[in-house]
Structure 1
């Protein structure tokens, strides 16, 4: 699945894959059997845009109706759920040993101040190290399966502190930063 991502959750999952201690299954049927051991077909099916009966059939090896789009969605689910203990342990080690969480993104931002909201039409290409407090909040939100808007908000706050307001003292940082249009995001840790 390592491909350019426009989703913060997916980008975190791809970065977490670098810490896996063993590879996930490769075949869609094997991947589905693994996923179905941890969740019900009725819960998994909506995330795969399929019916529960189809998911059960595909896990049994009958690939009728299994499209490349379904295969990609199955792969995303594997990346999202594979080795959660290893993922959590890696996050803790990064945070407790002054590890660096670097984010590279291409995005447009909106700034909110006491005077109003100001969208910036420029597509910014930034690479910054997230402050530890924002990296911790991002990891915690991902462990809680927070929605994409929450993850983007945490990332925007971190980018605001790391890039936009880094030259200002904390008492003068009166603006808020929001990601209005995310074209690419990638994490390294």
Structure 2
């Protein structure tokens, strides 16, 4: 998953208590938990390969993690492993958080390349600029945003954020702005905070 879903998953985790967020501490335990989830979801055949694909490693690396022969993978892999395990741990609690989030506003802070095209004037950004934007998405947008997470469609989540910025942040000014379309690319950071 990309930075949008990573940020959304972190927001869900932040709504859980420390006890609810608890996952196995060792690489072996985390890999075993992820493998169990894969077997439960898609069957035993090819489960190790699917875990390897999720982590961006070889199946041999997964076997070494499972056997305990490799206890300290590279930092990026260790972080990815933890993130993947957290995303599937305590599924009922996570589903409840997401259900509640659909009817709440959500604060979004992003740093990404943002460009525009104006269909009336023909103006466009020759080079999208890296911008930092912090906004609160109201409930209608939140509903679609969290549904995209449930559907596993990160592109749809990106579209929701773009539509909000385009419709409420840019076009709300009226005039020539109503013809302006935004493009979001090269996301450097995406953080979410679910309001109570």
User: TM-score, with normalisation over the residues of structure 2?
Assistant: 0.78
Runs of 4+ in 1 over 4 A off after TM superposition: none
Q: Aligned runs of 1:1-189 on 2, under 5 Å? A: 7-20=3-16, 21-39=20-38, 40-63=47-70, 66-96=73-103, 99-115=104-120, 116=122, 118-119=124-125, 121-147=128-154, 149-168=155-174, 173-189=178-194
Distance 2:80 2:190 in 1: 19
Q: Alpha carbon RMSD of aligned pairs, Å?
A: 2.5
Q: How far off is 1:43 after superposition?
A: 0.8
Q: 1:56 to 1:124 in 2, by over 3 A?
A: same
Q: 1:9 to 1:43 in 2, by over 3 A?
A: same
| Partner SS for 2:102 | helix
Deviations 1:30-86 (A, max 9, x none): 111111111121211112222223313312312178333321221221233232322
| Partner SS for 1:8 | helix
Unaligned 5+ residue runs, structure 2?
Answer: 39-46
Unaligned 5+ residue runs, structure 1?
Answer: 1-5
| Partner SS for 1:165 | helix
Distance 1:181 1:36 in 2: 31
| Partner SS for 2:68 | coil
| Partner SS for 1:176 | strand
Q: Which residue of 2 aligns with 1:3?
A: none
Aligned residues: 179
User: TM-score, with normalisation over the residues of structure 1?
Assistant: 0.81
Q: 1:25 to 1:159 in 2, by over 3 A?
A: farther
Distance 1:153 1:188 in 2: 18
Distance 1:53 1:181 in 2: 32
